[in-house]
Amino acid sequence: MMKTSIISIQSQIVHGHAGNSAAVLPMQAQGLNVAAVPTTLLSNNPLFETMRGRVLESELVGDLLRGVEERGLVETSRYVVSGYLGSRANGEVITAFVKRARKINPGLAFICDPVMGDFNLGVFVADQVIECLIDTLVPIADFLTPNHFEVGLITDSKPVTFDDLKVEVGKIRAHRGAGVVVTGCVFPDTPEGSLENVVFDGDTVTRLVSPRLPIVPVGTGDLYTGLLTARLTHGRNLVDAASEAAAIVLTVLERTIAAGEHEMQLGSTIDALLPATTEQKP
């Protein structure tokens, strides 16, 4: 049987890159096998004037996850990743799956990307989805990758400064001591023209600064979490995984700008997604 390193439960779109349509290829390019389970099937991201498709019924998502179990993929996986849920019912099905999977494979880690909104778009999921994330998925996560805006949603706060963020992330980590990477942070003391990703790993807090580019395609966070997961699977610690993932995302965005495109260009940047040739496959 092929070794399946990642079970990735996220949205899927036809045009562009978001959810699994952004995360799966980078993980595969890093030499990993991925079991991709969709929570939605949509024609494109919601920023276009039209969008076709729908959020998948929780019965279907649950059935697919049962199939994942029946094929023995839980035993051969290192991580379960969740992203855009689409509905509270899907979130509840995923929660139940993670709990079952941990009993089957106690070494399995759960990475939760609590997709709810950002500073540019505001909140773009239903209140029930936010409640599900806060009540059920965030508390059981081993790793979390919220953006700056989503930390405020989770803790019902508005963290402005770096010290504010540390306090609020401390509340999130109180459940399981999860490793947390907060993306897209801008504080009063962030260098001009930059963004920060802040990594909370054990007792260590690390601020990673990246250039702020004049483009924010839908799915950037999904790409980042996929790359972060891949680097963790390759044995990187959380800080190094976060730094390496950010560098790859930056390259993809720079090339997307150079091509004059608005949707991320993953096919033409696949060389940037590949691991260094000296690395061993997990």
Q: What is the pLDDT of residues 112-132, one digit of tens each?
A: 999 999 988 888 999 999 999
Rg (CA), the chain: 18
The residue length of the chain stands at: 282
The residue with greater pLDDT, 275 or 122, is 122
Specify whether the CB–CB gap between 80 and 36 falls below 8 A: no
Identify the helix (H) or strand (E) that includes residue 35.
strand 34-42
Domains of the chain: 6-271 (3.40.1190.20)
In the numeric block, which tokens belong to residue 27? 């993980």
Cα–Cα distance for residue pair 25/179, rounded to 1 Å: 24
Q: What was the pLDDT predicted at 2?
A: 56
CB distance 55 to 90 below 8 Å: yes
Structure tokens at 45: 């991201």
Neighbouring CB atoms inside 10 A of 60's CB total: 15
- What pLDDT is recorded for position 175? 87
HSE-CB at 246 with a 13 A cutoff on CA atoms is 25
